[in-house]
Chain A
Amino acid sequence: MRRYLSLYGVFFVQRLKILMEYRVNFLIGATSTSFLQIGGVLAMWVVMRQIPSLNGWSFDEVLLVFGLVTISESITHMFADNLWTLGWQYIRSGEFDRFLVRPIDPLFHLLADRFCHDGIGNLLVGTALVVKAMSALHIPFTVATALYLVIAVLTGGAIFIALNLLTASSAFWLVDSIPVTFLVYNTYEFAKYPLTIYGRGIRIALTWLIPYGFASFYPASYLLGRNVGALAWMGPLVAVLFMSLAYRAWKFGLAHYTSTGS
């Protein structure tokens, strides 16, 4: 574990050197994604300043949901973006074979290979939204809430990574796995709003099938003192479950990997 941590440091420093070679590019990439989120928030503001609440949720409460899911997304975006490119950049080119002959775990190698700065924008916007929402709603910032927030965000990040890993593993058969990942990943759009605005079917799907609800709605509900029962605490469990499922899919795919030849 310690070895892997220090190895990650080495990879990270190398990657940073590459990124710093082109500073303006780094800045454009790092801030670009925040524009998408700002557009979404602006749209929400435009609508919600004209109505008292969205299904009983005030503007700031919705922002908390939106902010939490945005931070969770930024974690995958920064640390696991190579899951998107596994198919076309590593498997198709045959470069993935390089990972298999090295004395470290190939999944670790894949993830450590490229820290993606494009996620930084989302991290900043998400954090700003959560801070804004919490101060506007007078949620006291105690050690307990801080701890809960950190766990919630890590849980959300893990769920994003698990789902992307699960779908990216299809690259071992399909080579181009991006459409599959794209499909599942985009369902997180649902989790930008309080799940109560959807029907039962969608709510259940977002809780148990594609559990993005644990990345935003359930922790936000808990922080706002809304009763969601045990679901406020089940996030980490669900994340571990999905992570192990995804890792198994990855292992299974790896065992069936035949390389692309030439």
Chain B
Amino acid sequence: MIHAVRREARVFFAFAAMVPKLYLAYNAWVVVEFVVQILFMLVFVAFWRAVYANTTTLGGLDVGQTINYILLAQIVAPLVQSRLVSEFGGMIREGRIAIELLRPVDFQARYAVESLTSLVVFAVQKLPLVLIAGAFLGLRLPSDPAAWGAFALSLVLGSMVLFLTDWMFACLAFYSTETWGLGVVKIAVATFFGGALVPLQMMPAWLRSIALALPFSQGVAVPISFLAGVTPVSDLGALLIRQLLWLVGLGIASRLVFRQAVRKITVQGG
């Protein structure tokens, strides 16, 4: 029993160890994405400053809270931009999926481990961005360690919610041979309803209820609101329970959906 667990742990550790290497392999991309994110931040700061020239609060948020929120959203946004559907599409097209499914490791667990490790690499990678936003763009971070703790905890849970959602969506690759466009649609929906463009508080009631019925805000709006000074730490308990419910529900649903979808498999080549 213990032997099996240790073996399992070793396998997953090996998968996890691959993740930073993957990121480091594309140096040019890291630099370019960094610069592009700063450019987008400049656009958003200019936009929101112009918005607040006419009003003091919007959706209950003042200009400082909103700028904090938008800058953090911009930094965290790449989390909702993963496209597992394209990855699945590639594996199916090339026939690699057959080998992946034959491996004596749980297919989904392996991706979950990779996704969690990515989050750590991601956090390290985005640290310079946070510092620059703090020094030049007016990002004001709280000094209260509890806010940081709440942020970290809900970000970890939220990123798992995003992963499971992405996993379910990726199962469409078993039905459609077009996955680039599907990935774009998913990013568009997740970015907006995750609250990466506008804080949920500012949305009219009908839009906000759609956003809350979808899982995306769990990985964007919920965690960053703790750091932006929008959500008080005292709300942590209730929000964590909601995240856990999402996790359990999506965990079960994603496995059911995958089991159903994988039967449809049509390998095109290889």
Given the known inter-chain contacts A28-B178, A28-B182, A29-B180, please indicate yes or no for A198 contacting B46, CB distance below 8 A.
Answer: yes
Taking the complex as formed, is B120 at the interface, i.e. its CB lies under 8 A from any CB of chain A?
A: no
* A50/B53 in contact, CB under 8 A: no
Given the known inter-chain contacts A42-B192, A183-B35, A187-B39, please indicate yes or no for A47 contacting B178, CB distance below 8 A.
Answer: no
**A253, B51: Cα distance in complex, Å:** 45
Given the known inter-chain contacts A29-B178, A54-B50, please indicate yes or no for A35 contacting B184, CB distance below 8 A.
Answer: yes
* B32/A183 in contact, CB under 8 A: yes
Residues of B within 8 A of A198 (CB): 42, 46
**A47, B44: Cα distance in complex, Å:** 13
* B198/A43 in contact, CB under 8 A: yes
**A39, B211: Cα distance in complex, Å:** 13
* A193/B58 in contact, CB under 8 A: no
Q: Find residues 31-77 in chain B having any chain A CB closer than 8 Å to their own CB.
A: 31-32, 35-36, 39-40, 42-43, 46-47, 49-51, 53-55, 58-59
* B181/A31 in contact, CB under 8 A: yes
Residue pairs across A and B with CB atoms within 8 Å: the count is 106
Taking the complex as formed, is A55 at the interface, i.e. its CB lies under 8 A from any CB of chain B?
A: yes
* B58/A39 in contact, CB under 8 A: no
* B178/A46 in contact, CB under 8 A: no
Residues of B within 8 A of A46 (CB): 198, 202-204, 207
Given the known inter-chain contacts A46-B207, A51-B51, please indicate yes or no for A202 contacting B42, CB distance below 8 A.
Answer: yes
The number of chain B residues with a CB under 8 A from chain A is 39
Closest residue of chain B to A177, judged by CB? B28
**A35, B187: Cα distance in complex, Å:** 9
Taking the complex as formed, is B191 at the interface, i.e. its CB lies under 8 A from any CB of chain A?
A: yes
**A30, B53: Cα distance in complex, Å:** 38
* A52/B188 in contact, CB under 8 A: no
Closest residue of chain B to A53, judged by CB? B54
Residues of A within 8 A of B176 (CB): 24-25, 28
Residues of A within 8 A of B188 (CB): 32, 35-36, 38-39
Other A-B pairs, 17, CB within 8 Å; known A25-B181, A186-B36:
A28-B178, A29-B181, A30-B181, A32-B180, A32-B188, A35-B185, A43-B192, A46-B207, A47-B51, A47-B58, A50-B58, A52-B54, A55-B50, A179-B31, A186-B39, A197-B49, A198-B46
Binding site for B on A (CB under 8 A): 22, 24-25, 28-33, 35-36, 38-40, 42-43, 46-47, 49-55, 118, 176, 179-180, 182-183, 186-187, 189-190, 192-193, 197-199, 202
A sample of 25 inter-chain contacts (CB < 8 A) reads: A22-B177, A28-B182, A29-B180, A31-B181, A32-B182, A32-B184, A35-B188, A35-B189, A39-B188, A39-B191, A42-B192, A46-B207, A50-B55, A51-B51, A54-B47, A54-B50, A54-B51, A118-B181, A176-B28, A183-B35, A183-B36, A193-B46, A193-B47, A197-B46, A202-B42
